[in-house]
A and B are shown apart, each in its own frame.
Chain A
């Protein structure tokens, strides 16, 4: 039972991270389309932000593994 709950928790964490990273990717594409000359800066900042969001999701997944 706790395993099932942990799996649901991990799934919920992934939904949040997915929405966040999707927003970042979409906005970054819009920004690149508006200002193609700033593509380098936008790309590295996009990866940085995606990595930070991923970090929050990973902590949630770790907790769900440890408490399973």
Chain B
């Protein structure tokens, strides 16, 4: 009986989940994605809200919405935890307020109040770049979303409807220079977003854990480790003995703090990202900007600690004909300097993002089978498939969280090791 009980419990929960999503599909934000089709048939003078009809579930759009950053913490349904917004627009200066000022948000993360020309759309802040739009708190009618094709690529455009007029919305500025579809717009977002909050949480957690462990070494000098010490010490010693010492040799102590910070920070963020509800769920290491910052640290530490030998072998490899060096070897080596951090950045991003997308798609099976909650039997079959698949994926992602932190750390160590290697005298 004791063996059957957990199985019964899981089955009951799955069936309840299947039933619940069928009955309350209007409250469930996974169920539908709004206004994904291009409607651009409004006349030039008036501007109306596009009616929201029940659309088919779009797995890719839902997945990207779920793994993205947001200016409020989504709890469930239409319940959000507000986060501070720090916004700067050159035209109107700095604005600072809690995201609860936008008013009640629906399950998609769109609110009905504009604050100082800022509007909350799909969980992120956007801005009306038009002085005709009043500043201060203003009730808006709705936000329209349309997809247009620019140079063969789908570009999302949002516009806010206020007193029968349409105002286009600007997304936040990004530093990608338009490569990934961003660029400098009319405002900058310095908010404590979901990702920033998660990073601060990881930072605080690691600080407390390691401070406790360090205190343990001071108070119980020479004794066996106790409590959290016993948990952290084997991981620490493993990274030191398997990563730092073999790659960095006798100079490993200088780089050990950096390697440990990188490893535990990435591991902490990966694991927090695995928790599907409030303190977790921030997909930080699946954000290109974060992994780029981490990779830049590696880039600077590697190249600033590179010795004469390293630069000689990078820029002017000895023992190779000059023509070959100028034509092939030096350009390739210089490209290699940048490709190393680029792959570090992409590897972590792609692995974590891939895992999260697969998980959202597996949960989305419920809605694919249930046709957005219209079909009770399909929803239940989908749930029965989704639960074991998601559990399997989560177990795999725990492994990936550890392996990716380890790989980032070991590659950083090998790059630094190559840069500080002493020449072999023959």
Binding site for B on A (CB under 8 A): 2, 40, 44, 47-48, 51-52, 54-56, 58-59, 61-62, 66, 68
> Do B407 and A59 touch across chains, with their CB atoms under 8 A apart?
no
Any chain A CB within 8 A of the CB of B347?
Answer: yes
> Do A59 and B406 touch across chains, with their CB atoms under 8 A apart?
no
Residues of chain A with a CB closer than 8 A to B180's CB: 66
Pick the residue among B153, B342, B347, B410 that contacts A44 (CB under 8 A).
B410
User: Lowest 4 CB-CB distances: which A-B pairs, in order?
Assistant: A55-B343, A58-B346, A51-B407, A58-B350
> Do A58 and B343 touch across chains, with their CB atoms under 8 A apart?
yes
Q: Given A47-B406, A48-B410, A68-B153: A55 and B346 within 8 A (CB)?
A: yes
Given A48-B411, A51-B410, A55-B343, 17 extra CB contacts under 8 A: A44-B242, A44-B243, A44-B410, A47-B407, A48-B407, A51-B407, A52-B343, A55-B346, A55-B347, A56-B343, A58-B347, A59-B339, A59-B342, A59-B343, A61-B350, A66-B179, A66-B180
**Most chain A CB inside 10 Å of its own CB: which residue of B153, B343, B411:** B343
Binding site for A on B (CB under 8 A): 152-153, 179-180, 242-243, 246, 339, 342-343, 346-347, 350, 403, 406-407, 410-411, 414
10 contacts between A and B (CB under 8 A): A2-B152, A47-B403, A47-B406, A47-B407, A54-B343, A55-B339, A58-B346, A58-B347, A62-B346, A66-B179
Q: Nearest chain B CB to A60's CB is how many angstroms away? A: 10
CA distance in complex: A47, B413 (Å): 13
Query: Please, which residue of chain A has its CB at the minimum distance from the CB of B340?
Result: A55
CA distance in complex: A47, B411 (Å): 10
Pick the residue among B153, B242, B346, B403 that contacts A59 (CB under 8 A).
B346
CA distance in complex: A44, B243 (Å): 8
Q: Nearest chain A CB to B423's CB is how many angstroms away? A: 23
Residues of chain A with a CB closer than 8 A to B243's CB: 44
CA distance in complex: A3, B346 (Å): 20
CA distance in complex: A61, B353 (Å): 14
CA distance in complex: A55, B411 (Å): 11
Q: Given A44-B242, A58-B346, A62-B346: A51 and B152 within 8 A (CB)?
A: no
> Do A47 and B410 touch across chains, with their CB atoms under 8 A apart?
yes
Q: Given A40-B242, A66-B179: A48 and B414 within 8 A (CB)?
A: yes
> Do A51 and B347 touch across chains, with their CB atoms under 8 A apart?
yes
Query: Please, which residue of chain B has its CB at the minimum distance from the CB of A61?
Result: B350
Residues of chain B with a CB closer than 8 A to A61's CB: 350
CA distance in complex: A5, B246 (Å): 43
**Most chain B CB inside 10 Å of its own CB: which residue of A40, A56, A58, A59:** A58
Query: Please, which residue of chain A has its CB at the minimum distance from the CB of B351?
Result: A54
**Most chain B CB inside 10 Å of its own CB: which residue of A2, A40, A51:** A51
CA distance in complex: A1, B414 (Å): 41
Residues of chain B with a CB closer than 8 A to A66's CB: 179-180
CA distance in complex: A68, B180 (Å): 11
Query: Please, which residue of chain B has its CB at the minimum distance from the CB of A54?
Result: B347
Residues of chain B with a CB closer than 8 A to A47's CB: 403, 406-407, 410
CA distance in complex: A54, B414 (Å): 16
Residues of chain B with a CB closer than 8 A to A40's CB: 242
CA distance in complex: A58, B351 (Å): 10
Residues of chain A with a CB closer than 8 A to B346's CB: 55, 58-59, 62
**Most chain B CB inside 10 Å of its own CB: which residue of A2, A55, A68:** A55
Residues of chain A with a CB closer than 8 A to B152's CB: 2
Residues of chain A with a CB closer than 8 A to B406's CB: 47
Q: Nearest chain A CB to B149's CB is how many angstroms away? A: 11
Q: Nearest chain B CB to A11's CB is how many angstroms away? A: 14
Residues of chain A with a CB closer than 8 A to B414's CB: 48
Query: Please, which residue of chain A has its CB at the minimum distance from the CB of B342?
Result: A59
Q: Nearest chain A CB to B239's CB is how many angstroms away? A: 11
Query: Please, which residue of chain A has its CB at the minimum distance from the CB of B344?
Result: A55
Query: Please, which residue of chain B has its CB at the minimum distance from the CB of A43?
Result: B242
Q: Nearest chain A CB to B113's CB is how many angstroms away? A: 36
Q: Nearest chain B CB to A58's CB is how many angstroms away? A: 4
CA distance in complex: A20, B190 (Å): 42
Residues of chain A with a CB closer than 8 A to B339's CB: 55, 59
Residues of chain B with a CB closer than 8 A to A44's CB: 242-243, 246, 410
